[in-house]
Structure 1
Amino acid sequence: MSNAKPDGAAPADTPTESDVIVVGAGPGGSTTAAYLARHGLSVTLLEKSHFPREKVCGDGLTPRATRALTRLGIDTSEENGWLHNKGLRVYGGRTEPFELPWPELTDFPPYGLVRPRSDFDDILARHAVAQGATLIEGANVDGAVLDDRTGRITGVSTKDGRTFSAPYVVAADGNSSRLSVSMGLNKRDDRPMGVAVRTYYTSPRTHDDYLESWLELWDGKPHESTLMPGYGWIFGMGDGTSNVGLGVLNTSKSFGKTDYRELLKRWLDNTPEEWGFRDQNMVGKVQGAALPMAFNRQPHYGRGLVLVGDAGGMVNPFNGEGIAYAMESAELAAAALAEALSRGAGTSSAEKAMQAYPQQLKSSLGGYYRLGTIFVQLIGDPRIMHLCTKYGLPRKTLMRFVLKLLANLTDAHGGDAMDRIINALCKAAPSA
């Protein structure tokens, strides 16, 4: 059990040895640490910054993320400060938007959530501490400590000269994952990558029962400019502000050459004045982040190192969602680690147990991510994008199907015809 203080700060006598080190206290890292502690293991959770801290994100969560929070034991009630939403409002293909309620399913709750990341990440980190993990803030990991003989990771070092040891280390340090890179695990170029930028505006649209997605993202006046392969979003925060942003995929020829902050401004200049999305109402700066998709860093386990969330490229190519998959991968990783440690760290039997983790990821998400990779390649062609928006977006039944596909919300067993089609496609596709 942890000897961390109630506020999550590690005391002076913090042990430098544990069963598992988790690097990064974002949603993936804190969830991994919480599940590991729940399994009765000693866990050291290292976070380079101090809570509360801001992260670039849309702050909107689908029912998939809601389920992950519930499984972790987080109270997502409105009384506990969570904003609930009923579904997705989609702009595209016609003047008026579609309002698509989240599907009624056995496997997922019928509501999504909104919560700022500064608060969200803090909640998950404190939850990990409450479960028994030791959280050390201000621990900026700069590399792996390796066994000279085997090349296996035995711990990590921090920029201020500290060393922490454990037989297994979880890299939950985000897209750049310096820990993974220090062990020679670089990103794959054959996987899609996105860039997202967002900011906040004071706006009368702050109270909204729906997450709002703009599937037609023009770089100027609608229908008179270039249609970009990406999407825009407007999420009411319920506090007088709206989180507004856009994501663009690297399948566009203009990827990397576009000023995304300027693109955000040009898009918003074409929204109604009364919504308030103008410079004088902006709160804070426009900030950006990379979206690593479709398992763009692999293997997810090797030589004692486990990759979770963005470090393992687990962002959904269809909709840019990362939190749900970070938390799901965390639960799977923790179960594999608990089993491996029960067999004796580093033994052949323990290594066999650890292989369950990458196998489960590929089984549950590999086919779906492969479909997502094909999808982003297709919409990277402006001609195909134009056909989709002209003939596909205005059809409500088709849009219900698209909602289930893009948000990855289907029942695994039974379900309706749409669920069965999507599940069959995912099974037929080779794993990403």
Structure 2
Amino acid sequence: MTDHDASEIFDVVVVGGGPAGAIAAADLAASGRRVLLLDKTGRIKPCGGAIPPRLIRDFAIPDALLVARIRCARMVAPSARSVDMPVGDGFVGMVNREHFDPYLRERAALAGADLRDGLFERISRESARLATVHYRSGKGGEEHRVQARLIIGADGATSTVGRAEIPGHARMRKVFAYHEIVRRPAETGHDGARCDVYYQGRLSPDFYAWIFPHGETVSVGTGSARKGFSLRSAIRDLRADTGLDACETIRREGAPLPLKPLRRWDNGRDVLLAGDAAGVVAPASGEGIYYAMLGGRLAAEAAGAFLATGDARALAQARKRFMRLHGRVFWILGMMQWVWYRSDTLRERFVSICKDKDVQQLTWDAYMNKELVRAKPAAHARIFFKDLAHLFRWVSP
């Protein structure tokens, strides 16, 4: 460690260079703040890679990053019966996190953030005004430290920042996700414009499995919170069932995903969380990229208010604004997962519901635009009574 390291002072140190951290760093740097973005290179998060049109518009994602355009989702029941849900107008973009995350980090650097390869270790405080961030970098793991007025922890579901600074973070409930990126030979017959989602207990007892096209490759994955369930065995079976077992495996990745937003994202002083570290992965669907990037943006805005006023109460606005926008959606998706994912009998009926045109339209409207559709109360009422009918077995699946 050098004296020069200790004398460096930043407005904000962002720990973690995934979508949440990169967006927070880019927005703050663009507003004129001095920002350090710390990221440990070499890790790729397991992710299906779906991004909705709302994300593409709001965050100006270039077409070159889209490796596929999805126009249909196929829902597969335990009986192997399937239901296709066409997207309709438009498409869902697919990205490969191997390229998507570095692009966002580079964009943050172009906006003025200082991007460094570093492994965060801890925070210490020698003064009331500044916190000291300790991190290691380089092959020898050389220790460095810098000072900051604020730290944004965007370092994943097992956030080192969160566990040290936010009460209750270590008890965050998680599902473990695992996927394999495999090369997709043309003869497999997999539709490059369709996502396949498997609601089968043998592939996941409490979540779902997926096959998502990534252009020349395919993401084959699953997730579960149940201890002892073999995710690798489930993916081996899914690949064998779908003709992907002979395909070249390019890489394997696994990571925990949060199941519910934390009740608090800041420590009331100088730390704020964003992305998976704050728990913003949608229940039932596991969608996280859009919510992480939005969370990063809201964190940047709350950070800007804190830096301008010195009032730590401004940090709480990030969570309040997020939950005002999406708390209801998260609650609905959580209830849906609790009701329908408990057994194969219920999963069979859930897939049956997906045949309904009202369900399909409202699902895609809400997903594509990230807003609950309030203008169709009659359709909502029909869906409610159809759900009851399937849940209580008044109709056959």
Which residue identity is paired with 2:44?
E
Q: Deviations over 1:258-313 (max 9, x none)?
A: 11101221233333xxxx311x3231354321111221463345321110000011
Determine which of 365, 383, 388 is the counterpart of 2:349. Answer: 388
Letter in structure 2 aligned against 1:113: G
The aligned residue for residue 153 of structure 2 is 171
1:89 is aligned, of 74, 95, 103, to 74
Matching of residue 237 in structure 1 with residue 214 in structure 2 = yes
Distance 1:57 1:15, change over 3 A: farther
Does residue 62 in structure 1 map to residue 51 in structure 2? yes
Structure 2 CA distance for partners of 1:166 and 1:247, relative to 1, 3 Å: same
Count of aligned pairs between the two proteins: 372
Counterpart-to-counterpart distance in 1, 2:167 and 2:15: 16
- Residues of 1 paired with 2:124 and 2:6: CA distance? 19
CA contact (8 A) 1:45 1:135 kept: yes
**Structure 1 residues 188 and 143: CA distance shift in structure 2, 3 A:** closer
SS at match of 1:315: coil
With over 3 angstroms needed to count, the CA separation of the structure-2 counterparts of 1:270 and 1:392, relative to structure 1, is same
Structural mapping, 1:11-410, within 5 Å: 16-49=8-41, 53-58=43-48, 60-63=49-52, 66-75=53-62, 77-78=63-64, 82-92=67-77, 97-102=82-87, 110-137=90-117, 139-147=118-126, 154-159=131-136, 160-187=142-169, 189=171, 192-203=173-184, 204=186, 205=189, 208-214=192-198, 216-219=199-202, 228-239=205-216, 241-248=217-224, 250=225, 255-271=226-242, 276-278=243-245, 280-296=246-262, 298-300=264-266, 302-343=268-309, 345=310, 350-382=311-343, 385-386=346-347, 388-389=349-350, 391-403=352-364, 407=367, 409=369
| Alignment gaps of 5+ in structure 1 | 1-11, 105-109, 221-226, 425-432
Q: How has the CA–CA distance of structure 1 residues 209 and 187 changed in structure 2, closer, same or farther, with 3 Å as cutoff?
A: same
2:14 and 2:21 in contact (8 A); partners too:
yes
Q: SS where residue 199 of structure 1 aligns?
A: strand
Cα distance, 1:167 vs. partner?
A: 0.8
Q: Which runs of 4+ in 1 moved over 6 A?
A: 12-15, 418-422
The change in CA–CA distance for 1:302 and 1:199 in structure 2 (over 3 A counts) is same
Name the CA shift for 1:145/1:384 in 2 (closer, same or farther; >3 Å).
farther
**Residues in 2 aligned to 1:171 and 1:416: alpha-carbon distance in whole angstroms:** 39
**TM-score normalised by L of structure 2:** 0.82
How many Å apart are 1:330 and its aligned residue? 0.8
Residues 183 and 418 of structure 1: is their aligned pair in 2 closer, same or farther, counting only changes over 3 Å? Answer: farther
Q: Are 2:66 and 2:94, in contact at CA under 8 Å, matched by a contact in 1?
A: no
Measure the CA separation in 2 of the matches of 1:362 and 1:389. 27
For the residue of structure 1 that corresponds to 2:9, the secondary structure is coil
- In 1, the alpha carbon distance for the partners of 2:278 and 2:271 equals 11
Is the contact made by 2:268 and 2:313 (CA closer than 8 Å) also made in structure 1? no
- Using the aligned pairs only, state the percent identity: 23
* Structure 2: 5+ residue stretches without partners: 137-141, 385-397
CA contact (8 A) 2:180 2:249 kept: yes
The root-mean-square deviation of aligned C-alpha atoms, in Å, is 3.2
Q: In the alignment, is the contact (CA less than 8 A) between 2:23 and 2:296 conserved in 1? A: yes
**2 CA distance for matches of 1:396 and 1:366?**
26
1:18 is aligned with what amino acid? F
> Cα–Cα, structure 1 residues 373 and 384, in superposed 2: closer, same or farther, change >3 Å?
farther
Q: Deviations over 1:353-408 (max 9, x none)?
A: 33322211221222222233323322353276246347424434334445556x47
